Structure formats: C-alpha cells, structure tokens
C-alpha cells in the first residue's frame, strides 16, 4: 500500500494528513491503494471542505473552520447523522462514509462523505451552459423544483421526526438569530431594533411543517455538468431540521441576488440576464409547491436579517483578531446593506 500524500502543504500546519489517511483506510474499505491527493475547495465563510482523491475514488472531508468558533456552531456530528437519515429518502443528499472526533487524528471533529460529481455555481457560469439567457431560466426553475422536492418528503414516514422540534420553530429561530446578533455587535446600524421588533411581533402563527435545509442556496447545489436544469446533489446539511418550510424559501430568495442590488458580501451569479427575479422566483415556488405565500415578505426579510447576522459574526471575529483574512475588512458594509434590504422588504418596497 502506497501511503505517500501529495497535499501541496494544504493546511499542513493544522492537519496531519498522514494520520487522516491512516484512519480513513481503516474506516472506508472502498479506498484503493495509491497515494492520497488533497485539494481544498474554494473557501467560503463556513466550514473547511477538502476533496480527497485516491485513484478513481473520491470523497469530501468537512471540518469546522480553524480558530475559535461559537458554541454549538459547525456541528459535524449532527450533519453526519442528518445525512445518514436523509440520504435514503433524498439521494441528492450525499452519502456519509465516516465520522471522527478523535483529536489524535485531527484537532477538530470531521466527517467524510461521497463526492457528488457536477458543477457548483458561485459567480460565473461554465462555458458548457451557454449564455445566462439560456441557462438562467433552467437554473432558476431547477432550484425551485429541488427545494419543492425536498419539502415534499413525508418526514414522518421517513422516520425523521427526531430531526427537529417543529412546535415553536419560527419563534425560536427569530429569537435565536437576534441573540446571535446581540452577541456579535460592533458597528451601529440604523433601524435594526425596529426590524427585530417587527420580526417578533409579526411572526406568522400558522405554517406547514416539512424538512428545512436551513442553508438552501444556489452554491449549495451540485448541478449536472452539461444540463443546468438538473440537480446532482444538495450540500451543507448541518443546520437541517423539521420546521416551517417558508423559512427555506425566504432564505433562498434573500441569497438570490439580482441586478441593482448593493454589495451583499457573497458571490452571486443570479444577477445575470435570464435568471428569475426574486418576485418571479416566489411566484414559481407558489405554483409548484401549492403553498400560501401571502406572508412571504416576512420570511424574505428574516432571510436578509439572518444573512446579515452570519456576516456580522464573521466580521466580529475578524475585528477582534480571531481570524486573519483581508476579505472580511469591509464586511460591515455588506451587513449594513443586508439589514437595509430586510427593512425595505418588510415595508414591501423590495420584493
């Protein structure tokens, strides 16, 4: 067995890849002989993700980011457990292979799952998709269809009742995100308190119950390499639960940038010609899902607020010196823009 590792110094100061390979070979029987090659995926604001390659075998390793992280955040064990339950009824979720929390192997817990072969979109389209006018409508409709497919699963029949607590879900979400913001404040933004009070007071009291992915956005979908209207995989399940499905559509629409938006602090491809507008996205979702979306402004405003808080938490860590990354220096401006977009949405002036 050849255990030589070609990892091009990828995070070698933090990770002993030889130990990782040794552990994986004992745990995953499908790994063939040969050297393991490690490549890091383009790094976003969340978990660190690596592509592992041995011959024709490929896997994806996910672990929390380096440095201090908020309590209960980046729970790899929970994500592994969710994939283990969801994959049999929703094969677009990657199949999990192994979970490890042995600090002799790695400083933080991690897991390895199957590699979904396809394209993940960030800020540009591959040449194989043609123009945005050609691919945009297909990608837009496919994103909606994939979300509706997930939400159509009978979670009780699938034995997923213990995945979350639907009663009081939205109230917990709103209060929880407001608390996260309180704990990571730096700059003073206008009308945030007014927005938070509106989110508390105007919370819809009746809703459906379904699987909630809680991070359903375009760059968490793996699309077919030649057909932009086909989903191969859905990634990043660590926050998934059972709750109000309209929170997912609200967040998806908030991430769905369109032409004329201010800086949102994230990579966006949906602002190109051919992609659905946010309003058209909501209308198509309503048509395909059959759900009442009369309160959609609430959910989209909450989606913008949550995204603002996510970026604020990162900016807080950067400003306090916990992370050193020049990308985050002006993230507070994007946070301000997102809070303003949330306010405009609640006043029915954006969606």
Alpha-carbon distance of 158 to 179, in angstroms, equals: 33
> How far out from the chain centre does Cα 156 lie?
24
For the segment 58-92, what is each residue's pLDDT rounded down to a tens digit? Answer: 999 999 887 666 555 678 998 899 999 999 999 99
DSSP helix/strand/coil, 324: coil
**Residue 3 confidence class, pLDDT cut points 50, 70, 90:** very low
Indicate the range of 36-50, 157-171, 209-223, 323-337 predicted with least confidence. Answer: 36-50
The stretch 257-274 carries a mean pLDDT of 97
Mean pLDDT for the chain overall: 93
> Superfamily assignment of 127-346 in CATH?
Aminoglycoside phosphotransferase (APH), C-terminal lobe (3.90.1200.10)
Residues linked to residue 49 through DSSP beta bridges, in sequence order: 62
Contacts 24+ apart (CB under 8 A), 22-26: 23/100, 23/102, 23/105, 24/52, 24/59, 24/98, 24/112, 25/1
Q: With 60 as the cut, is the pLDDT of residue 1 above it?
A: no
Which pLDDT score is estimated for 222? Answer: 97
At 153, list the tokens.
Answer: 């699963």
Tell me the average pLDDT across 226-239. Answer: 95
What's the pLDDT score for residue 47?
A: 82
pLDDT of residue 210: 97
pTM, 2 dp: 0.90
Q: Where are the alpha helices (DSSP H) in the chain?
A: 17-27, 76-86, 132-151, 169-182, 192-201, 246-255, 278-289, 296-319, 331-346
Task: With H, G, I as helix, E, B as strand and everything else as coil, classify residue 241.
Answer: strand
User: Which two structure tokens, joined as six digits, stand for 319?
Assistant: 């400003």
- What is the distance between the alpha carbons of residues 77 and 174, in angstroms, rounded to a whole number? 24
Q: What is the full DSSP assignment across 168-214? A: THHHHHHHHHHHHHHTT--S--TTHHHHHHHHHHT--S----EEE-S
The contacts of residue 77 (CB under 8 Å, 6+ apart) are 99, 101, 109, 111
CATH topology of domain 5-114: Phosphorylase Kinase; domain 1 (3.30.200)
CATH 3.30.200.20 domain residues, the chain: 5-114
Please report which confidence band the pLDDT of residue 9 belongs to, taking 50, 70 and 90 as the band edges.
Answer: low
- What are the tens digits of pLDDT across the range 178-216? 999 999 999 999 899 999 999 999 999 888 999 999 999
Per-residue pLDDT at 2: 42
For the chain, give every residue range classified as CATH 3.90.1200.10: 127-346
Q: What is the pLDDT of residues 308-333, one digit of tens each?
A: 999 999 999 999 998 888 889 999 99
- Inform me whether the pLDDT recorded for 137 exceeds 80: yes
Residue 301: closest CA among 346, 260, 247, 255: 346
The pLDDT of residue 322: 86
Share of the chain above pLDDT 70, in %: 93
Residue from 217, 304, 225, 315 nearest 269 by CA: 217
DSSP-assigned letter for residue 215:
-
**DSSP category for residue 75:** -
6 phi/psi in degrees, rounded to 5: -110, 90
Instruction: Find all residues with CB under 8 Å of 268, minimum gap 6, and list them.
Output: 123, 257, 261
Nearest C-alpha neighbor of 93 from the set 105, 85, 103: 85
pLDDT band of 43, cuts 50, 70, 90: low
Confidence of residue 134 (pLDDT cuts 50, 70, 90): very high
Taken in order 312, 317, 321, 327, the sign of the CA dihedral is negative
């Amino acid at each position: 067995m050849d255990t030589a590792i070609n990892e091009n110094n990828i995070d070698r100061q933090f990770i002993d890849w030889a130990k990782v390979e040794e552990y994986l070979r004992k745990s995953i029987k499908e790994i063939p002989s040969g050297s393991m090659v490690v490549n890091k995926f383009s790094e976003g604001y969340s978990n660190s993700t690596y592509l592992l390659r041995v011959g024709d075998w490929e896997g994806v390793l996910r672990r929390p980011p380096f440095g201090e992280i908020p309590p209960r955040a980046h729970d790899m064990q929970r994500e592994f457990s969710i994939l283990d339950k969801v994959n049999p009824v929703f094969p677009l979720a990657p199949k999990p292979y192994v979970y490890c929390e042995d600090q002799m192997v790695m400083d933080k817990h991690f897991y390895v799952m199957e590699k979904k072969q396809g394209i993940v979109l960030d800020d540009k389209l591959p040449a194989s998709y043609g123009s945005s006018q050609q691919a945009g409508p297909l990608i837009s409709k496919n994103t909606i269809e994939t979300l509706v497919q997930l939400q159509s699963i009978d979670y009780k029949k699938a034995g997923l009742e213990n995945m979350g607590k639907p009663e009081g879900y939205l109230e917990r979400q709103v209060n929880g995100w407001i608390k996260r913001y309180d704990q990571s404040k730096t700059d003073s933004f206008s009308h945030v308190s007014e927005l938070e009070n509106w989110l508390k007071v105007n919370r819809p009291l009746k809703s459906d119950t379904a699987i909630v992915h809680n991070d359903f956005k375009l760059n968490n979908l793996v699309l077919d390499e030649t057909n932009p209207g086909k989903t191969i995989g859905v990634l990043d399940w660590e926050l998934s639960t059972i709750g109000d499905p309209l929170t997912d559509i609200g967040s998806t629409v908030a991430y769905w940038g369109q032409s004329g938006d201010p800086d949102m602090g994230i990579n966006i491809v949906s602002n190109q010609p051919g992609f659905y507008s946010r309003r058209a996205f909501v209308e198509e979702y309503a048509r395909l899902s059959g759900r009442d979306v009369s309160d959609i402004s609430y959910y989209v405003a909450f989606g913008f607020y949550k995204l603002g808080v996510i970026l604020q938490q990162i900016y807080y860590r950067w400003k306090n010196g916990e992370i050193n990354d020049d990308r985050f220096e002006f993230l507070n401006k994007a946070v301000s823009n997102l809070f303003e977009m949330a306010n405009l949405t609640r006043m029915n002036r954006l969606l």
